């Protein structure tokens, strides 16, 4: 069963930015689009590029190594289609950003 765990403060990731966070034993890319928060796997399935070091365009996160792109709302690959990354539920309580893991 998944449990919500504190991943960061809302002040740790500015709107439009992505930051790598460790939640229990997983490293995730925590995304603040300005409108919503998302958490996805930090490792690109292509060759393991660090997605938190990538480029965010709206809700599309691009791997910094070879440009694979993923929709952070679903984890679905935008380019190439058919690729995907893990996507984790996120909620904000007060100043805490919580991610469901487990």
Q: What is the CATH number of the domain that holds 97?
A: 2.102.10.10
Distance CA 4, CA 24 (A): 11
- Looking at the whole model, is its pTM more than 0.85? yes
Domain count along the chain: 1
For the stretch 5-19, pLDDT in tens is: 999 999 999 999 999
Higher local confidence (pLDDT), 72 or 1 = 72
75 pLDDT tier (thresholds 50, 70, 90):
very high
Task: Give the pLDDT confidence score for residue 1 in this predicted structure.
Answer: 74
Residue 91's contacts (CB-CB under 8 Å, 6 or more residues apart) are: 4, 98
For the stretch 2-60, pLDDT in tens is: 899 999 999 999 999 999 999 999 999 999 999 999 999 999 999 999 999 999 999 99
Question: Could you tell me the residue range of the domain that residue 53 belongs to?
Answer: 3-101
Distance CA 13, CA 24 (A): 19
Tell me the backbone φ, ψ of residue 2, rounded to 5 degrees: -80, 145
Task: Give the pLDDT confidence score for residue 70 in this predicted structure.
Answer: 98
């Amino acid at each position: 069963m998944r449990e919500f765990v504190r991943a960061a403060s809302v002040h740790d990731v500015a709107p439009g930015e992505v930051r790598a966070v460790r939640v229990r034993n997983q490293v995730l890319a925590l995304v603040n689009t300005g409108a919503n928060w998302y958490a996805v796997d930090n490792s690109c399935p292509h060759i393991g590029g660090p997605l938190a070091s990538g480029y965010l365009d709206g809700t599309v996160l691009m791997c910094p190594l070879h440009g694979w792109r993923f929709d952070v709302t679903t984890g679905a690959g935008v380019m190439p289609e058919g690729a995907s990354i893990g996507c984790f539920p996120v909620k904000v309580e007060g100043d805490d950003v919580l991610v469901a893991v487990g």
